[in-house]
């Protein structure tokens, strides 16, 4: 192997990268187009097979296909489809005992001739386990023995030598993602289910944290009666440090809000604030959110309407809490 590096310019390096990405993008576009024909019928059969499976979806693959298989298994397992990866070489030495009646096997091989996989076919057939093949060669040994064939063929690899699995593994990965997403939807899998399988990460926090867990409540919520003057409004805002105060009637129902932004706008407009009551100062019918929603919904609402503070009400319209962007950042849902 030569150790002399080719004298490529930065523009040529970027151009080569773009060519690789173009090849992979074309492979995915062709994959998508094929789903309009027989490949689409096979995909539907594969989905139905997995949905009818009483056990787990066992995924196998060698080399780069094995790395893809591990990722597909992880994605399926986190989106409601019990799945596991079994290495074909290990399966010959006892691990095939992991495959039980009631399971389904998804075998991934671009050539469809991987010796470690094809050697397992008679055993799988004897067990009566449904076999789904994901391969780029529909006439291969693996495809011929499979009950369902997912066609992951690509015209050319992104590797300049057309040797290293690149576009073919991208196609496998994308087809696996498509399978996971369709199964997720078919099972009615919800955000809360996803969060339960990801409790430790930031995604889990966003999906599991309810607004009532992070909002200010009780005496920490700034509120004034509608007839108090400007001085009392400012005093309440300073005491509670939220940058706003709610205006509520004697029954605790929300009438309006007055924020730091409102104060600035009124000063800029030359309004004599000292003569005004809370009712005259407030913005009526403020945007609110229910206390039983996920904190992530509050983040979305605040971002959509470019506001920093949200008042929280219960089902009857009573003011029960308040939250601002700092509260949500402390709770790590932003």
CA pair distance 158, 73, nearest whole angstrom: 25
* b/e burial code for range 72-91 (CB count within 10 A of at least 16 → b): bbebbbbbbbebbbbbbeeb
- What structural domains does the chain harbor? 10-189 (3.40.50.10490), 211-330 (3.10.580.10)
CA pair distance 167, 22, nearest whole angstrom: 10
CA pair distance 165, 106, nearest whole angstrom: 19
Q: The whole model's pTM is what? A: 0.59
Give the model confidence (pLDDT) of 13-24 as tens digits. 999 999 999 999
Q: Is the pLDDT of residue 189 over 70?
A: no
Q: What would the mean pLDDT of 219-244 be, rounded to a whole number?
A: 93
CA pair distance 132, 151, nearest whole angstrom: 11
Question: 3-class DSSP state for residue 72?
Answer: helix
Q: What would the mean pLDDT of 213-221 be, rounded to a whole number?
A: 91
Instruction: Give the residue carrying structure tokens 């523009």.
Output: 11
Give the model confidence (pLDDT) of 71-83 as tens digits. 999 888 877 788 8
* b/e burial code for range 298-310 (CB count within 10 A of at least 16 → b): bbeebeeeebebb
Give the model confidence (pLDDT) of 83-110 as tens digits. 899 888 887 665 567 788 889 999 999 9
The Cβ of residue 93 has, within 10 Å, a number of other Cβ atoms equal to: 8
């Amino acid at each position: 192997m030569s150790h002399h590096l080719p004298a490529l310019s930065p523009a040529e390096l970027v151009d080569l990268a773009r060519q690789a990405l173009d090849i992979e993008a074309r492979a995915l576009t062709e994959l998508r187009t094929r789903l309009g024909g027989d490949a689409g019928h096979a995909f539907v059969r594969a989905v139905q097979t997995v949905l009818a499976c009483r056990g787990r979806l066992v995924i196998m693959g060698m080399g780069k296909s094995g790395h893809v298989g591990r990722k597909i298994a992880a994605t399926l397992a986190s989106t409601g489809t019990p799945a596991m990866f079994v290495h074909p070489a290990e399966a010959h030495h006892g691990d095939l005992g992991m495959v039980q009646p009631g399971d389904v096997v998804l075998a991934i091989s671009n050539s469809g001739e991987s010796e470690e996989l094809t050697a397992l076919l008679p055993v799988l057939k004897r067990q009566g386990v449904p076999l789904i093949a994901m391969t780029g060669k529909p006439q291969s040994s693996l495809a011929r023995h499979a009950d369902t064939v997912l066609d992951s063929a690509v015209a050319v690899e992104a590797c300049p030598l057309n040797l290293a699995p690149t576009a073919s593994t991208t196609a496998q990965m994308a087809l696996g993602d498509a399978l996971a997403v369709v199964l997720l939807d078919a099972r009615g899998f919800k955000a809360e289910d996803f969060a339960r399988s990801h409790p430790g990460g930031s995604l889990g926090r966003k999906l599991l944290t309810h607004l009532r867990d992070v909002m200010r409540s009780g005496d920490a919520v700034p509120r004034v009666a509608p007839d108090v003057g400007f001085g009392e409004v400012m005093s309440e805002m300073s005491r509670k440090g939220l940058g706003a105060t709610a205006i509520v009637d004697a029954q605790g129902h929300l009438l309006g809000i007055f924020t730091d932004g409102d104060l600035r706008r009124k000063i800029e407009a030359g309004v004599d604030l000292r003569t005004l009551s809370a009712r005259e100062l407030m913005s009526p019918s403020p945007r609110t959110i229910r206390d039983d929603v996920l904190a992530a919904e509050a983040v979305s609402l605040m971002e959509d309407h470019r506001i920093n503070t949200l008042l929280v009400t219960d089902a009857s319209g009573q003011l029960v809490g308040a939250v601002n962007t700092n509260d949500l950042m402390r709770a790590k849902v932003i």
